[in-house]
Amino acid sequence: MTTKTPKSHWLFVVTFLIALALDLISKHLIETRLGMFEEYEVWQGVLRFRLITNPGMMWSMAEAVPASLWVAIRGSVLLGLIWMYFSLENKGPMAQLAFGLVCAGALGNIYDNIFQNKDALFQGEVRDFIQFYWFEFPTFNVADSCICVGAPLLLLVLWSHDRELRAKEDGKPQEQGS
């Protein structure tokens, strides 16, 4: 593993900080501007903001799982992602962007699980508010969007990284376009 200067991680850090800030600020603004289940029509017939809380994960699956367990699960995934990022030999722009988005999304939802219950830490629910309603789609937030964009990019990065490693091991140059 090669050691690089901290400057080489600038896109990861910037992506992570901007995405996390957008998530937390948007959740705060929606929460302070809209009451629970109030709506703000962004684009009539297509998109509205409607604050709901989600005790589980996507599409309200696993609602019975306590928030403290979600913190442990999401925290473990986040630590695994950070370990994986620093284990990669080639941390090009696509890798930095993908890891920055997914890590910010995970931390944004972890924050809600830890702090969104004013009576007890680690008992909070994730704040969701973006709702496309011209077709059936679950309500989501900026963190979820970061994960949904970052995860496929991350799979592409890891697949490409795996191909590079196999090509090195085989002693062959990697083929272009295949």
Instruction: Quick: pLDDT tens for 91-110.
Output: 889 999 999 999 999 999 99
pLDDT at 96: 95
Overall pTM surpassing 0.85 (yes/no): no
Could you tell me if residue 1 is inside a domain?
no
Residues in a beta bridge with 132: 47
pLDDT for the residue 176: 58
Known catalytic residue at 23: no
Residue 31 near residue 22, CB atoms below 8 Å? no
pLDDT tens readout for residues 1-10: 455 444 588 9
Which residues in the chain land under pLDDT 50?
Answer: 1, 4-6, 178
Q: Is residue 4 part of a domain?
A: no
Assess if residue 55 is contained within a domain: yes
Could you tell me if residue 95 is inside a domain?
A: yes
Domain that holds residue 145: 9-166
Catalytic residue among 112, 119, 144, 170: 144
Classify residue 77: in a domain, yes or no: yes
Q: Answer yes or no: is 94 within a domain.
A: yes
* Selected catalytic residue, list 112, 128, 162, 170: 128
- Residue 178: inside a domain: no
Q: Bridge partners of 50? A: 39
Residue 29 is inside which H or E element, if any? Answer: helix 10-33
Q: How many domains does the chain have?
A: 1
**Is position 128 annotated as part of the catalytic site?**
yes
